[in-house]
Amino acid sequence: MPPQKPQDVGPWDLLAFVCELAMIVLLVAAGHGMAGGWKGWALGAFLAFVAIGIWAQWMAPTSDKRLVNPTRFIVQVMLFVTVALYAAAGGLVWWGIGFAIVAITAFAARIRSDP
């Protein structure tokens, strides 16, 4: 059976996916800002893996434990704010604030079309 083409993928979906990737990058950079050298990269990788685990468990479309909205959106907002706080702790205050605003906006816009 050939793979199915995704239905109803729009610009908000693209922005949301970019935010998911930016979350990982921002956590690695924040970890590096909190500690120097290899310890910072290790801390950043750890933070990113925790976020990936949370996302894969409760937010990913293919997860069998996926939360339903509005609970999923509330957990996403809490995760985005936590990432912003880690970014601020790593010296990336404005990057963290910008990330949180864009990510929350993107996922709020998608909430109507997301089952």
Give rounded-to-5 percent helix, strand, coil for the chain: 70, 0, 30
Element (H, E) at 58: helix 37-58
Would you give per-residue pLDDT tens digits along the chain (115 residues)? 666 666 677 788 889 889 999 999 999 999 999 988 899 999 999 999 999 999 999 988 888 898 888 899 999 999 999 999 999 999 999 999 999 999 999 999 888 655 5
- Residues in the chain, overall count: 115
Q: What is the pLDDT of residue 113?
A: 59
